[in-house]
Amino acid sequence: MQGLCAPPLHFPATAPRRRRTLKTVARSARAELREDSDPLIQSAIHSASLRLGETNRTEPLFIDPYAACFFPPFTNKEPNIHKHQHHHYCLATKFIDDKLLHTAKRIDGLKQVVLFTDGMDTRPYRLNWPSSTMIFDVSPQKVFDIASDKLQGVGARLPKGCMFFHLPVESGDIEQCLRSKGFSGNRPSIWAMQGLPLESQSSFEAILSAVSSLAMNESYLIGELPIDIIDQSDLKNWMEKLFMSNGFKVQIVSYEEIAASLGVVLHSQVNNDKIMFIAQQLKFSDDQMEKWRQEFERVEEDGDEQGFEEL
């Protein structure tokens, strides 16, 4: 892991270069200090440790060649890779990976993927996306900045022809941010949520509302939802009503179902912290409705002009 994470050492030949090197070291030290104390960063690193543990198994569910770079070099922070045999997080990661790629390759014209993440999601780099796919990552800015530097340091590259855009979740207005980056509600899209730090039930409801406005008819939303932010006694009924009110038909997927479909055995009890779901958009996006409104007005105007000429 150290060989992958640690950048090569360059010995300075001049005083100015030496000063720049010292500044770089100081910045690196401050970054590691933030990593040690920031709960968002620590949570993202923990998720990376689970992916690294899965990657190092004899028969892994998936391969994440970049997870190791998120750990500080020359430390003893390498996770116990044998502790997390087929962890629920890894099952969810495999499930989401497969659904994303299957949908992206099955639906003609699907070139838009939106990922709600913890900032250290490596899917843009490790999945074999179709050419010209636009990938949008919505995540905490400070975590993404650290992850981006480390991924760049180990040579992570997007698949050929793909584009990547980051949107800070702190911006608040997800709809406006996505539109400003080129997202179109007149083209198919697929959305995934895993690891995004949600503060409350209302924060998830706001995100779902934004997705509902932007996602074209028959688009998909897949993900994990933390249960501890939800103040509901009947979780299944609440989810069905919430998703339906936003135009989605939702299906709850158990981790046991995922494990059975993959032919693996769970080595721990059922995950009571999160709930897996897959939802399909049944209504039309705001962009679709606007396009049809304009077309309807055009047809009406053409009809009025033709009627006037006949008179």
What is the reported pLDDT for 238? 96
What is the reported pLDDT for 304? 59
Identity of residue 203: S
What is the reported pLDDT for 305? 61
- Give the domain range for residue 104: 88-291
Whether 186 is covered by a domain: the verdict is yes
Whether 178 is covered by a domain: the verdict is yes
- Pick the residue with more confidence: 34 or 235? 235
What is the reported pLDDT for 4? 34
CATH of residue 191's domain is: 3.40.50.150
What is the reported pLDDT for 269? 67
pLDDT at 15 over 50: no
pLDDT at 241 over 60: yes
Whether 173 is covered by a domain: the verdict is yes
Q: Which of 17-21, 77-81, 290-294 has the lowest mean pLDDT?
A: 17-21
Whether 216 is covered by a domain: the verdict is yes
Q: Which residues of 213-252 are buried (b: 16+ CB within 10 A; e: fewer)?
A: bbbbeebbbbbbbeeeebeeeeeeeebbebbeebbbebee
Q: Sorting pLDDT into bands at 50, 70 and 90, what band is 109?
A: confident
Whether 33 is covered by a domain: the verdict is no
Instruction: Tell me the average pLDDT across 6-12.
Output: 32
Q: How many CB atoms lie within 10 A of CB 181?
A: 13
Q: Determine what percent of the chain is predicted with pLDDT higher than 70.
A: 79
Length of the chain: 311
Whether 25 is covered by a domain: the verdict is no
Instruction: Tell me the average pLDDT across 86-105.
Output: 91
Q: Alpha-carbon distance 134 to 254, whole Å?
A: 30
Q: Sorting pLDDT into bands at 50, 70 and 90, what band is 20?
A: very low
Nearby residues of 128 by Cβ (< 8 Å), 6 or more positions away:
101, 159
Whether 229 is covered by a domain: the verdict is yes
Whether 249 is covered by a domain: the verdict is yes
Tally the domains of the chain: 1
